[in-house]
Every structure is written in C-alpha cells, then in structure tokens.
Amino acid sequence: MPSAIRTVGLTKHYDEVAVVDGLDLDIETGEVFGLLGPNGAGKTTTILMLLGLTEPTAGSMEVLGLDPRRHPLEVKRHVGYLPDAVGFYDDLTGRQNLKFTARLNHIEDADARIEGLLVQVGLEPAADQPAGEYSRGMKQRLGLADALVKEPSILILDEPTTAIDPEGVAEILDLIRGLAVQKGVTVLLSSHLLNQVQAVCDRVAIFVDGVVIAQGRPHDLAAEQVGHARVEFRFDDDAEIALRRLEEIDTVEDVIHGRVPGSWIATLDIGTLPATVNRLVSDGSRLTGVRRVDEDLDAIYRRYFEGEEVSA
C-alpha cells in the first residue's frame, strides 16, 4: 500500500532561517503519526506545506500520491485539518457551522452525518448555541467535527486537545485512535504534550529547531538512544540480596526500585538478558518474573532534546 504522506528533504526558509530543514517522512495509510516538539520547532510549518498553504524552499512531498503544490484543491478534498487556532462564524450555531462546511464541500444530505459527529465530539447539547458563545475547548471539539465532515482519508490535527478538560482529552484521543483502527483514517498529530502523543500514536518524529532528530516507535527510540533496554526482575528473595546480585553483574546498569515489592528495574543490553537470567539463577536467586519495561516518551524526548543541545 502506498504511503499516505511522504516527504524527502522538505525544507522551508524564512529569510535565512531554516524553519524546517531536510525533513524525511514516510507515513503509512491508517497510521497515527505524531510530530512532537516544543512550540516553534517547525511542526505547523510542515503541516502548512503538506496542505499546499505555503511553498517549500526545497525538497519534495506527496499526500495521497499528489503534490500539494500542483494539486492543492484535490489534496484538500481528501484531508481534514484542525488548526491550532480554529475559527468559526460566531453568529451561527455549531450545527449551522458544520452545515456550512458541508455545503462548501458539495456534500448533500449531510444532516445525519453532522448529528453523528456532534455526538462523537460531545457537542450535541450545545449544537444550537451560537459558536461565539463557545469556550476554547468547545471550539476545539467543533473544529474536530468540522475536519471530519467530508469523511477525509487523512486527518491533520495541530494541538487538537488545547483547552480541553482531562475527561474530554481522553474522549478525543479515543476518537482519534478509533478513526485509524476502525475506518483506516491516517492521522498526523502535532503536539508538545508527550503523554498524549504516547497514548495514541503508532510512531513519532521528534522535532528540534526545524530538524527531526529521531523518529520511530517510542519503544524503538529508547533502544536507539541508549543501545540498552530497561528490564524488570521480580524476586522471591530478600530485597537487598536481590539488589546486590544484580549489581554484581558487569552488564547491568542503573538498578532502581520496581513498582511492586520484590522487584528491581535494571538497564542492560537486551542481548545479554538470557545470560543475566542464567547468572541470577546460578547465584541462587528465586526469580518469579522478568519483563521488558517500555521507557515513557517523556524520558526519551528529554534525552534526545538534551543530547541535541549538548552536541550543538
């Protein structure tokens, strides 16, 4: 299956500053892909280029096999977009705004679709309230419904959970994941909120100053960065004895308390795990469990970001 979004060396300069510098992306159909980085890292500029709303300085890009520079209208027919600062006609109700979008996209008999979207994003009770009276979070919800009116093949979301309460965030993330899993929609999610990206994205690209310094699955990024994995060992032994036996193994580093009593988490080369287990057993340890522990995206991001600052 061809890529939903593909860029090669995509670059955007403003004056002499490279806002996006040599971006290579290959996003699969039905994937939820996260652009992760602080504000000003180049995420929004990347999105605008993919939508044909700003010209790249160099490089190439394809969205559903189309070049957004040459076929901007065709790209927009198949891509739903929720910008960071979403706007609506304040004197129209939420439902009327969605109907207006449906008419702009030449969608007939959209009433049932709109009603379903209002329920999905949790706006049904406020559907007939003027959008000018909506809170920021309500406008974000309406913006997500607006992006879905044309039933897009690709959904591009720029900070989609801004100003939404925690319960609403969980609902929106569930909706995003459901679109990918159940309907095969490709989702490109831009965010600086690491926990949300980790909760919903299959893969991520970490942006720093216009450059993607790493991309892949969070699990793989952790291994690439340090060449090691974190493994939890559970013992039916005295805690201090178990700790000492782990620390005596040359290939084991950074042993910390696990989340349950009798467990320790150690950093080690994953290839040495069988030998480590054999060594513990031969030393008399009563192991009750061994499992790999995924490092959270926050720790991965901080190490990549701090490493980039040091190298710079």
Tens of pLDDT along 1-29?
A: 679 999 999 999 998 899 999 999 999 99
Ordered strands of the 79-82 beta sheet? 79-82, 154-158, 186-191, 32-36, 203-208, 211-216
Q: Does 229 lie in the same domain as 210? A: no
Domain boundary among 194, 216, 238: 216
Instruction: Determine, yes or no, domain membership for 74.
Output: yes
Instruction: Determine, yes or no, domain membership for 308.
Output: no
Q: Does 57 lie in the same domain as 28? A: yes
What is the mean pLDDT of the segment spanning 114-118?
Answer: 96
pLDDT at 257 over 60: yes
Please give the mean pLDDT across all residues of the chain: 88
pLDDT top residue among 103 and 269: 103
**What pLDDT score was predicted for residue 25?**
95
What is the mean pLDDT of the segment spanning 294-302?
Answer: 62
Instruction: Determine, yes or no, domain membership for 157.
Output: yes
Q: Does 244 lie in the same domain as 110? A: no
Amino acid at 276: T
**What pLDDT score was predicted for residue 301?**
65
pTM of the model: 0.74
What is the CATH number for 78?
A: 3.40.50.300
The lowest-confidence range among 49-58, 113-122, 155-164 is: 155-164
Domain boundary among 183, 216, 249: 216
Instruction: Determine, yes or no, domain membership for 302.
Output: no
pLDDT at 83 over 80: yes
> What confidence category does residue 306 fall into, taking pLDDT thresholds of 50, 70 and 90?
low
Q: Does 153 lie in the same domain as 26? A: yes
Q: Does 231 lie in the same domain as 179? A: no
CB atoms within 10 A of CB 53: 14
Q: Does 180 lie in the same domain as 249? A: no
Q: Does 144 lie in the same domain as 16? A: yes
Domain extent, residue 237, equals 225-294
pLDDT in tens, 84-96: 888 899 999 999 9
Instruction: Give how many domains the chain has, as a whole number.
Output: 2
**What pLDDT score was predicted for residue 192?**
82
Q: Does 191 lie in the same domain as 235? A: no
Q: Does 168 lie in the same domain as 245? A: no
pLDDT at 310 over 70: no
Secondary structure (H, E, C), the chain: CCCCEEEEEEEEEECCEEEEEEEEEEECCCCEEEEECCCCCCHHHHHHHHCCCCCCCEEEEEECCECCCCCHHHHHHHEEEECCCCCCCCCCEHHHHHHHHHHHCCCCCCHHHHHHHHHHCCCHHHCCCEHHHCCHHHHHHHHHHHHHCCCCCEEEEECCCCCCCHHHHHHHHHHHHHHHHHHCCEEEEEECCHHHHHHHCCEEEEEECCEEEEEECHHHHHHHHHCCEEEEEEECCCHHHHHHHHHCCCCEEEEEECCCCCEEEEEECHHHHHHHHHHHHHCCCCEEEEEEECCCHHHHHHHHHHHHHHHC
> What confidence category does residue 296 fall into, taking pLDDT thresholds of 50, 70 and 90?
low
pLDDT in tens, 183-236: 999 999 998 877 788 789 999 998 888 888 888 887 677 555 555 677 899 999
Do the Cβ atoms of 95 and 127 come closer than 8 Å? Answer: yes
pLDDT in tens, 258-282: 878 889 998 888 788 899 999 999 9
What is the CATH number for 243?
A: 3.30.70.980
Domain boundary among 186, 216, 246: 216
